[in-house]
Amino acid sequence: MIEDYVISLNEDVMIECDGLYASVCEAMKDDVAKKWMIRDEVNLKSNFGEALFILHFYYDGNVVISDFASSSNVEAYHNPDIRFISRWTQEKGWKIPKPLSSMIESNLDFWKHFWETHVVDSEYLDSKYGKREDIEFDDIVKED
């Protein structure tokens, strides 16, 4: 099954730059502040439904998930929304997204699963469970 998804941005700079980190940096270079953050409501539509994310995009490439409404009520192992948004941010040149600590605390098993599988990053989970082992994904693909 092909997992297709469509991302809709709502913030003007993000729309103008198609979410591309390098283009956003270029557009923001004349901004008064050297350290900026863009808050955007991001809609993700897929075969599984529609999810809504509130994402904070930072000058240094960090992306923080500050809110999330899932496209479905399935358990973490079958929820595609986080995988899709993580893939999209990285394809656009941003870093792996990081959920807020308060979100993790309210749904620990859900977020821990995505942290363990390197779909999201989290200093909070790093400090709680220890640093994850680095995975060489290229090596895994070559073995298959």
pLDDT at 61 over 60: yes
In whole angstroms, what is the distance from residue 101 CA to residue 106 CA?
9
Q: If you average pLDDT over residues 66-86, what whole number do you get? A: 85
Q: Which residues contact 124 (CB under 8 A, 6 or more apart)?
A: 101, 104
Cα dihedral 98, 13, 36, 71 in deg (nearest 10): -20
Summarize pLDDT for 89-132 with one digit per residue, the tens.
Answer: 999 999 999 999 999 999 999 999 999 999 999 999 999 999 88
pLDDT tier, 74 (very low <50, low <70, confident <90, very high otherwise): low
pTM of the model: 0.87
In whole angstroms, what is the distance from residue 47 CA to residue 71 CA?
9
% pLDDT > 70, the chain: 88
Burial bucket for residue 80 (CB in 10 Å: 0-12, 13-18, 19+) = buried
* Buried residues in 47-74 as b, exposed as e (16+ CB within 10 A): ebeebebebbbebeebbbbeebebbeee
Instruction: List the strands of the sheet with 98-99, edge to edge.
Output: 5-8, 37-46, 49-58, 63-69, 98-99
Rounded to a whole number, what is the distance in angstroms from the first to the last CA of the chain?
Answer: 18
